[in-house]
Structure 1
Amino acid sequence: MQEDEAQIGWGYTGGAFIPPPAPVLPVDVPAEISRRQFFQVLANRQLISKGEALTAVTAGTLPAALDALVSQILDEDIEWEARMLFAGAQTFNRSNGFVDFFGAMQGMSTVDLDQLWRDASVLD
């Protein structure tokens, strides 16, 4: 690369200017993740225990932290819907309003939830 072609932000290695690496584009947020991926990523992030994650997947038992969050819902019908979702869903849709509720109660931003979904989606 010619010196007069170099731009701000370029590096200099081995007597030559080199352009910076291409920016990493964000990975699309998957629309849904599996039940196992959801509870596994929560355990990986230590939001629930590994034992709770396994019990949630195998028996549909809500982890204590999730149960406490759902218990804070004042409307009985909405609380019941949330319990049904978290205990029985085979997949979790990122667009579901209860996901945003869960995130808000955990102090997570939309960006945080999107990353949680990305992280969960790559778990094999």
Structure 2
Amino acid sequence: MMKYALVINDVIDTISYDPVGGWITVGDDVFGGFIRDGAGWKAPPPIIVPPPVPEELSRWQFFAAAALAGIITQDQAKGALTGTMPPPFVAFIATLPQADRFEADMLLTGNQIFHRHHPFVQAFLNANQMTSDQADAIWRAGAALGT
């Protein structure tokens, strides 16, 4: 039985064994999504799906990931675990409205869990011209460190 493909913009859109007009004959080793490669066909590149972004990081994961991302030093990350606030976070807190500074300081100093979508995370991103994708990468890196 002959195998046929409907091709749109050099990509196989649909495979059929009972085509209507406008279809081309293809080999049994060609499937939907294949891309025209000269006179033949090649498989599309694999779709790489990044791991999901965790909603939470533990305290040590958060500060370790911040160090791995270059936001703070490794020594500052270790100090943060014993209560010494890293200078970039001190500077960030200073940019907040007076009414928010105490809460931010308490969260960074005492939180055992850091939430990806907490408003202070977004404020930190904005203050440091970081994108949401960069924050997601930091959260993924933190989660990859284990528990």
Q: TM-score, normalised by structure 1?
A: 0.82
In structure 2, the partner of 1:55 is: 79
In structure 2, the partner of 1:74 is: 97
Q: Does 1:113 align with 2:135?
A: yes
Stretches of structure 2 that go unaligned for 5 or more consecutive residues are 1-25
- Displacement of 1:21: 3.9
Q: What residue identity is the alignment partner of 2:92?
A: L
Structure with more helix by fraction: 1
Measured against aligned partners, the alpha-carbon deviations of 1:27-78 in whole angstroms (never above 9, x if no partner) come to 2110100110111111112211111100101x22210111011111122x31
Q: What residue identity is the alignment partner of 1:20?
A: P
Q: What residue identity is the alignment partner of 1:119?
A: A
Q: Does 1:85 align with 2:107?
A: yes
Task: Return the structure number with greater relative CO, CA threshold 8 A, min gap 6.
Answer: 1
**Separation of aligned partners in 1, 2:36 and 2:79:** 51
SS at match of 1:33: strand
In structure 2, the partner of 1:8 is: 35
Q: What residue identity is the alignment partner of 1:33?
A: L
What is the aligned-residue RMSD (CA, Å)? 2.6
In structure 1, the partner of 2:51 is: 27
Structure with more strand by fraction: 2
In structure 1, the partner of 2:16 is: none
Identity of aligned residues (%): 32
**Separation of aligned partners in 1, 2:121 and 2:75:** 22
Aligned length: 119
* CA distance 1:61–1:10, shift in 2 (3 Å): farther
SS at match of 1:92: strand
**Separation of aligned partners in 2, 1:104 and 1:9:** 44
**Separation of aligned partners in 2, 1:27 and 1:54:** 27
Q: Is the 8 A contact 2:69 2:138 kept in 1?
A: no
Q: Is the 8 A contact 1:10 1:19 kept in 2?
A: no
- Displacement of 1:89: 0.4
